[in-house]
């Protein structure tokens, strides 16, 4: 029995990987190389950041340029040939959700980083430098009293 369109869309979307993607693996390797202690995908933190550095209150998201709408209206990357309305709404909603997550986490005292996939692929070290600066400015590297 053929699936109805909504069920087919739901099935297709469920097949898209959201954890341990190649860009997350790349950042994880870089964080470990720099001995930065982190947790992954903590559901207790709003928006479920890909990486969390709790002591420094740093939340890191690894965003795909396609799914999170990098230059959404200015590139041909999002010039859909089929199901145009569905895809445009999907990506616009992702962009809106990202803004809500950012503002809520910032209001709770978190430093939020959103790294694009191409930034991580081209220069993960530059992303790590930004994270380390945030950690230092938040006192993460100070010795803790025993």
Q: Report if pTM > 0.75.
A: yes
pLDDT at 42 > cutoff 80: yes
Q: Which residues of 51-81 are buried (b: 16+ CB within 10 A; e: fewer)?
A: bbbeebbbbbbbbbbeebbbebeeeeebeee
Model confidence at 135: pLDDT above 90:
yes
Residue 9 lies in a domain: no
Q: For the chain, what is the domain count? A: 1
The answer to whether residue 28 sits within a structural domain is: yes
Per-residue pLDDT tens for 99-129?
A: 999 999 999 999 999 999 999 999 999 999 9
> Domain for residue 98, yes or no?
yes
Q: Which domain holds residue 55?
A: 19-137
CATH no. for residue 61? 3.40.960.10
Tokens of 40: 């992954």
- 81 located within any domain: yes
1 lies in some domain: no
In a domain, 42, yes or no: yes
């Amino acid at each position: 029995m053929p699936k109805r369109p909504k069920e087919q869309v739901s099935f297709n979307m469920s097949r898209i990987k959201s954890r341990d993607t190649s860009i997350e693996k790349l950042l994880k390797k870089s964080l470990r190389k720099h001995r930065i202690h982190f947790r992954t995908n903590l559901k207790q933190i709003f928006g479920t950041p890909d990486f969390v550095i709790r002591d420094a209150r740093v939340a890191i998201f690894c965003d795909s340029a396609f799914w999170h709408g990098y230059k959404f209206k200015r590139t041909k990357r999002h010039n859909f040939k089929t199901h145009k309305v569905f895809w445009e709404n999907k990506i616009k909603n992702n962009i809106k959700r990202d803004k809500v997550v950012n503002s809520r986490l910032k209001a709770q005292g978190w430093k939020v980083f959103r790294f694009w996939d191409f930034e991580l692929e081209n220069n993960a070290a530059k992303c790590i430098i930004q994270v380390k600066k945030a950690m230092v400015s938040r006192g993460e590297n100070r010795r803790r009293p025993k």
